[in-house]
Amino acid sequence: MTDLLQLIVAGTATGGCYALAALGFTLLWQASGTINFALGEMVMLPAFAMLFLLNVAGLPLPLAFLATCALAMAVLGAGFKRVVVDPLIRHGVVPLVIATLGLSIGVKQAVRGVASAEVFTFPSVFSDTLWNIGGLRVSAADIGTVLLACAVVAALQAFLSRTLTGRAMQAVAQNRDAARVLGINVQRMVLYAFLANALLATLAALLITPVYLAKFDMGETLGMKAFYAAIIGGFNNSRGALLGGVIVGVLENLVGAYISSGYKEGVALLLFLVVIIFRPQGLLGTVEERRV
């Protein structure tokens, strides 16, 4: 029983990291109908930016994180929207999906060219503290990650439902034309979504890189898992991203421990397929009707 709980706790922490990235998928989809398959690389880039600021500029981790947040909002938020999304979105989702796939490959190879294909160690924001609760060993990193992911989801939910800007963003997500008629600055709301996505990616990088280690292709697995998590939880629901992330993280651990590590990587894909077939709106998502 303790082993099972151990797997669930650790899986929840990993799932929390997936959830932060998955939130980026749901936010962009809701705000601008964008599917971003370069999301994994948007986690990898802040990881390398933080490493640069830590090792070359000599900044402490908190400062490196804050500086990377600002940089990510400018480049991965506003820059990505302006350079990639705005020119392509008018042609539909498919060209944008293809463009982000290309961007993913390009970014990976660029980082490989600059930083080499080697793996780099990354400091943890949490201490090494380990608690033993009735035989269950819980690390500060696991608890911190879960709490942080929950807090981010709760804050995002509160922002979207209780603030004027959040409601305006929701209005844009539901009906752009109606939102425009109501006097909402649609482009600004969309930009906010991109900025929030960049922040979430940077936070995910901070939490997951100490365990995964920094490498040019570290975003491949993470991006894919986050996409599965977003679909499983519900592409149009922020809490769904958290649920999807946790389900993927926990299931991976259970399959790895009780079946085989060989099937571990496939479990998210299997669940993704089941959800797509039987509940395409995701576990917490709502059915969307679109005019054609």
Q: Which residues fall within 8 angstroms of residue 7, CB to CB, at 6 or more apart?
A: 250, 253, 254, 257
Smallest gap from residue 5 Cβ to another protein (A): 10
Stretch that binds another protein, among 54-62, 97-105, 132-140, 174-182 (CB under 8 A): 132-140
Nearer to another protein, 221 or 281 (CB): 221
Nearer to another protein, 30 or 139 (CB): 139
For residue 269, state whether it binds another protein (rule: CB under 8 A). Answer: no
Q: Binding string to another protein for residues 71 to 90, with x set by CB under 8 A, is what?
A: --------------------
For residue 170, state whether it binds another protein (rule: CB under 8 A). Answer: no
Q: Which of 217, 9, 13 is nearest to 118 (CA)?
A: 217
Nearer to another protein, 41 or 88 (CB): 41
For residue 52, state whether it binds another protein (rule: CB under 8 A). Answer: no
Nearer to another protein, 153 or 255 (CB): 255
Q: Pick from 1, 90, 128, 291 the residue near another protein by CB under 8 A.
A: 128
For residue 117, state whether it binds another protein (rule: CB under 8 A). Answer: yes
Stretch that binds another protein, among 24-32, 47-55, 198-206, 257-265 (CB under 8 A): 257-265
For residues 71 and 67, give the distance between their C-alpha atoms in angstroms, rounded to a whole number.
Answer: 6
Q: Which residues fall within 8 angstroms of residue 213, CB to CB, at 6 or more apart?
A: 119, 120, 121, 122
For residue 41, state whether it binds another protein (rule: CB under 8 A). Answer: no
Report the site for another protein in 197-216 (rule: CB under 8 A): 210-213, 215
Nearer to another protein, 193 or 218 (CB): 218
Smallest gap from residue 124 Cβ to another protein (A): 9
Q: Pick from 68, 169, 253, 268 the residue near another protein by CB under 8 A.
A: 253
For residues 250 and 57, give the distance between their C-alpha atoms in angstroms, rounded to a whole number.
Answer: 38
For residues 244 and 202, give the distance between their C-alpha atoms in angstroms, rounded to a whole number.
Answer: 20
For residue 145, state whether it binds another protein (rule: CB under 8 A). Answer: no
For residue 14, state whether it binds another protein (rule: CB under 8 A). Answer: yes
Smallest gap from residue 138 Cβ to another protein (A): 9
Smallest gap from residue 139 Cβ to another protein (A): 5
Nearer to another protein, 4 or 83 (CB): 4
- Binding region for another protein (CB under 8 A): 3, 6-7, 10-11, 14, 112, 116-119, 121, 128, 130, 132, 137, 139, 141-142, 210-213, 215, 221, 252-257, 260-262, 264-265
